[in-house]
Amino acid sequence: MSFSQRHPYLFWQLVGWGLTLVDFAFLVVAALNDFSEWSYPIIVFTFIAALFAIIGSPFFVYWSRRSRLPQTSSETESRVIRNDITSILMLRKKTYATMMCIAMVALVIGLAYVTYMLGEYGHILLGFVSMVFMIVIPFIACERYLAFVRKRFLVVKDAAQFVRMRDAYYLSDLRSTRMPILPLPNEPSDAMLDFLYNWLRRYLMSSQLTLISATYADLRRIGIVLASNDTAEDGQEMNSSLIAIPKHQLDLSGANRAQFDKECRALGAFDLPTGSQTTDIRVGNLA
User: What is the torsional sign of CA 44, 48, 51, 55?
Assistant: positive
How high is the pLDDT of residue 67?
60
Residues 249 and 181 in one domain: yes
Residues 141 and 43 in one domain: no
Per-residue pLDDT of the chain (287 residues; tens, 9 = 90+): 567 767 788 888 898 899 889 988 888 888 878 777 777 778 877 887 887 788 777 877 776 666 666 567 777 888 888 889 988 988 887 666 677 778 888 888 888 888 888 877 878 778 777 877 877 777 778 777 878 888 888 888 888 899 998 875 666 666 667 788 898 888 888 889 999 999 999 999 988 999 988 888 777 776 666 665 544 334 445 567 889 898 889 999 988 999 999 999 999 888 876 655 444 455 555 54
Residues 143 and 173 in one domain: no
How high is the pLDDT of residue 208?
92
Residues 165 and 100 in one domain: no
Give the residue from 66, 86, 104 where a domain finishes. Answer: 66
Residues 188 and 216 in one domain: yes
Residues 164 and 236 in one domain: yes
How high is the pLDDT of residue 27?
85
Residues 180 and 144 in one domain: no
Return all residues near 121 (Cβ < 8 A) that are at least 6 apart: none
Residues 242 and 266 in one domain: yes
Residues 49 and 84 in one domain: no
The secondary structure of 131-199 as a DSSP string is: HHHHHHHHHHHHHHHHHHHHHHH--STTGGGGEEEE----TTHHHHHT--EEE-SSS--HHHHHHHHHH
Give the residue from 130, 153, 176 where a domain finishes. Answer: 153
Give the residue from 153, 184, 202 where a domain finishes. Answer: 153
Residues 57 and 126 in one domain: no
Range of the domain at 175: 159-283
Pairing of strands 181-183, 224-228: unpaired
Report d(CA 67, CA 83) in Å as an integer.
12
Report d(CA 22, CA 194) in Å as an integer.
47
Residues 129 and 93 in one domain: yes
Residue 199 β-bridge partners: none
Report d(CA 171, CA 184) in Å as an integer.
18
Q: Per the structure, how many domains does the chain have?
A: 3
Report d(CA 199, CA 192) in Å as an integer.
10
Residues 44 and 105 in one domain: no
